[in-house]
Amino acid sequence: MTQTEILLKIIDLFTKCKIEYMITGSFASNLHGVPRATFDADIVIKADQGSLKKFTKEVSKDFYVEEKNTKSQKGMFNIIHYNTGFKIDLILIKRRGYSQTEFSRRQLIDFAGRRCWFSSPEDTILSKLEWSKFGASERQFNDALGIAKVQSEKLDWEYLRKWAKELNVVELLDKILRNL
């Protein structure tokens, strides 16, 4: 089973359990920018306790479920596919303004013959810059730069500047602009 097949299986479970989602991270940056190998997937989810409980019960047939945050509905938790070791980070949507705006801007995009919800190119850039800031990761910055180079003329730069200020990543966004 490929990473894409596993991801589509999880999306089917989200639909079955009535969980809203948004694929972000490397899968989104590969879609919007310059593809690179990835060993996990990141998905932001919006779910109530009942839906989350149903999902964890269903998914536990084929995945190890790290359940520490499933009950509190805060933070994130991992699921790991038993047969392949492929890890998916499920990020419970934050209550902050940016996270709510980011989720409302998600886009329905053709992916592997299916329509799937992905973070927008702008929000993928901002998230990658935020992760870069917290983890000092050059890979995260390069993903953001790759998206900016591929999507440059289509990007909403006003939106990027507004939220870069809010997220305290203006210096990193400026670095991207210098490298275009």
Give domain limits for the chain: 1-119, 120-180
The class that CATH gives domain 1-119 is: alpha beta
pLDDT of residue 137: 73
pTM: 0.93
pLDDT of residue 93: 95
- pLDDT, one tens digit per residue, over 77-122 is 999 999 999 999 999 999 999 999 999 999 999 999 999 999 999 9
pLDDT category of residue 75 using cuts at 50, 70 and 90: confident
- pLDDT, one tens digit per residue, over 40-63 is 999 999 999 999 999 999 999 999
HEC readout, 27-45: HHHHHHCCCCCCCEEEEEE
From residue 32, alpha-carbon distances to 1, 79, 142, 156, 178 in Å are 24, 25, 13, 14, 20
